[in-house]
Amino acid sequence: MGNRFQVKDRFADGAQYIDGRLRPGTSGRSHTVVDPATGEEVLTYELAGPADVDEAVAAAKRAFPAWSAATPGERSDALHRLAAVLAEQAEDFAYAESLQCGKPLKLTTGFDVPGTIDNTAFFAGAARHLQGQAAGEYSGDHTSYVRREAIGVVGSIAPWNYPLQMAAWKILPAVAAGNTIVLKPAELTPLTSLMFAQAAQEAGIPDGVINIVTGAGRDAGEHLVGHPDVVMTSFTGSTAVGKRVAEIATATVKRLHLELGGKAPFVVFDDADVEAAAHGAIAASLINTGQDCTAATRAYVQRPLYEAFTARVAELMETVRLGDPFAPTTDLGPLVSHAQRDRVAAFVDRARAYATVVTGGEIPGGDLAEGAYYRPTLITGAAQDSEVVQSEIFGPVLVALPFDTDDEGLALANDTPYGLAASAWTRDLYRAGRATRELKAGCVWVNDHIPIISEMPHGGYKASGFGKDMSSYSFEEYTQVKHVMYDNTAVAAKDWHRTIFGDR
């Protein structure tokens, strides 16, 4: 990668992007972005506080009348230009995303960045396709139609696991529908959200339409959720924080969209292709070092295949190459931070008391000792109600459990509070059909696990939240529908007025 720009130079003016310019936050507190592969400082910046949130919301409010009045075609053109700017700057985005998250470059260049460009292109098209219901004379005396309108200033909060994609998923449907937005990225990973907003400016999206404030959750985050001029909160993050966000949003009567945690099951029936399932389990449990809300975390394997599956997964896990995210041979980078690595290690250490760590379960030393690395880990022998089966670990840890009947496998798969994603592995059409109907999750894959596409909705069931990111379904969150009704009679004393005037 030839194009490693200087992060400190690029954000010398600060890491808050309000009304089209970078400036420092005014909370009086700073945060240091650390490269989790080395432990070295990337950037120290001043965090946003409530006053910065107020300015960002005011800028978004000022920008709303003109942006919401732009034609769908004008908004679409701007988003097409944004897709082109992102494509021109793809190397910079991949570099910054790998640097702040520790993601292997092959993940950022092969998934995060092209996914974001495709998402932008999708919403450029979808911006021209916002639809209301057909108009008609439903009462006989009136013509009714439905207008689909932008709602105003959206306040969004994103996590650190896919900072660029999360920024895009929040910003794109909101602005495509004519809203303006204030996005708060996670403190650990502000860089690519800021770059996305700068790219939007280069593409000609007016200042104030997209604002980025990076501050602490309890400070800037809660202030944004409770702000009286923010009409909607869209939050992606943990279920615990989501509950707090919901309380504040509800108290201020806001629309709410929650994309929360996951604990995705991976159900392997006894007619499955074991080799395909084992490969799938490795890729789906280790993607983004397991810090993926849809990652495969619980492999339920029907008894006849259980031994073969776990042996093959352990064998393949040991071939995964940990290392420098920028080396082309690296399969797995570090976790996002040393704190997250220690949290994952603590889950596995506690599990040793009641389960078997088949492979992994170790912080590597040597060249990797300074980074937040953790070895890919397979755990067996854990009970269904144990912590590693029920709680979101958010690291490179897969738990495998056997099952006997199809009924039992599907029941165990549904037996957590979460419902974001799931997969079924089988060559039997009827088993696959039953699994897709009965698995309680917002996305169910058959014979695969992870792929996402811009055209299809992403969002949870149960404690994984409600509302959809991506696809035209996301417009349901970011627009409001208005019933407009015209009288067609031109009669002063209308028939229904008898409810007041009686027989006069």
Of 309, 282, 258, 285, the residue nearest 418 (C-alpha): 258
For residue 347, which phi and psi values (nearest 5 degrees)? Answer: -60, -50
Q: How many residues bind ligand NAD (CB under 6 A)?
A: 30
Of 86-94, 184-192, 195-203, 406-414: span binding ligand NAD (CB under 6 A)? 184-192
For ligand NAD, the closer of residues 231 and 358 by Cβ is: 231
Within a 13 Å sphere around the CA of 145, how many CA atoms are in the beta-carbon half?
Answer: 8
Crossing angle for the helix pair 72-88 and 163-176, to the nearest 10 degrees: 160
Least distance from C-beta 221 to ligand NAD, angstroms?
3
Residue from 46, 92, 97, 222 that binds ligand NAD (CB under 6 A)?
Answer: 222
- Radius of gyration (Cα) for the chain, nearest Å? 25
Q: Which of 36, 152, 208, 261 binds ligand NAD (CB under 6 A)?
A: 261
- At residue 415, φ and ψ (nearest 5 deg) are -90, 60
Q: From the CB of 377, what's the least distance to ligand NAD, in Å?
A: 18
Q: Is the distance from CB of 42 to CB of 7 less than 8 angstroms? A: yes
CB 400 within 8 A of CB 309: yes
- Distance, in Å, from the CA atom of 194 to the CA atom of 23, rounded to the nearest integer, reads 11
Among 72, 114, 125, 217, binds ligand NAD (CB under 6 A): 217
Among 237, 280, 323, 333, the residue binding ligand NAD under the rule CB under 6 A is 237
φ and ψ at 419, to 5 degrees? Answer: -165, 55
- C-alpha distances (whole Å) from 101 to each of 31, 360, 371 are 15, 22, 12
Which tokens go with 405? 């009947």
Nearer to ligand NAD, 228 or 502 (CB): 228
Q: Does 264 bind ligand NAD (CB under 6 A)?
A: no
Find out whether 79 and 128 touch, Cβ atoms under 8 Å. Answer: no
Residue 146, beta-bridge partner list: 483
164, 168, 194, 245: which one contacts ligand NAD (CB under 6 A)? 245
Q: State how beta strands 443-446 and 16-18 pair.
A: unpaired
Tell me whether residue 314 or residue 470 sits nearer to ligand NAD (CB atom): 470
Q: Which of residues 445-484 bind ligand NAD (CB under 6 A)?
A: 460, 464-465
Q: Which of residues 75-134 bind ligand NAD (CB under 6 A)?
A: none
User: Which stretch, 26-34, 110-118, 221-229, 429-437, contacts ligand NAD (CB under 6 A)?
Assistant: 221-229
> At its nearest, how many Å lie between ligand NAD and the CB of residue 347?
14
Binding mask 142-161 for ligand NAD (x = CB under 6 A): ---------------xxxxx
> 259 with 241: CB under 8 angstroms?
no
Beta-strand pair 21-23/16-18? antiparallel
CB nearer to ligand NAD: pick between 72 and 417: 417
> Which of 7, 420, 443, 452 forms a contact with ligand NAD (CB under 6 A)?
420
Q: Nearest residue by C-beta to ligand NAD?
A: 217
Residue 490 to residue 471: CA distance in whole angstroms: 42
Query: Could you give the CA distance from residue 405 to residue 128 in angstroms, rounded to a whole number?
Result: 49
Quick one: which of 392, 426, 470, 471 contacts ligand NAD (CB under 6 A)?
392
Asked if 34 contacts 189 with a C-beta cutoff of 8 angstroms, the reply is no
Rounded to a whole number of angstroms, the minimum distance from the CB of residue 180 to ligand NAD is 19
Closer to ligand NAD at the Cβ: 226 or 409? 226
- Minimum Å gap between C-beta 356 and ligand NAD is 26
Three-state SS for 163?
helix
Rounded to 10 degrees, what is the CA torsion of 313, 316, 322, 327?
-140
Among 394, 403, 425, 461, binds ligand NAD (CB under 6 A): 394
- Determine, following the binding rule CB under 6 A, whether residue 390 of this chain makes contact with ligand NAD: no
Of the two residues 271 and 342, which places its CB atom closer to ligand NAD in the complex?
342
Q: Is 222 a catalytic residue?
A: no
Q: Which of 36, 50, 262, 325 binds ligand NAD (CB under 6 A)?
A: 262
Per rule CB under 6 A, is residue 259 in the interface with ligand NAD? yes
Q: What is the nearest approach in angstroms of ligand NAD to the Cβ of residue 477?
A: 13
Dist. CA 231–CA 352, nearest whole Å: 47
Per-residue mark of binding to ligand NAD, 334-373 (x: CB under 6 A): ----------------------------------------
Q: Is 421 helix (H, G, I), strand (E, B) or coil?
A: strand
Among 117, 272, 293, 382, binds ligand NAD (CB under 6 A): 293
Amino acid at 438: E
Q: Which residue has the tokens 């907003």?
A: 197
From 55, 187, 222, 259, the catalytic residue:
259
Residue 264: its H or E element:
strand 264-268
The three-state secondary structure class of 136 is strand
What amino acid positions are annotated as catalytic residues?
259
**Which residues bind to ligand NAD, rule: CB under 6 A?**
157-161, 184, 186-187, 217-218, 221-222, 225, 236-238, 241, 244-245, 259-262, 293, 392, 394, 420, 460, 464-465
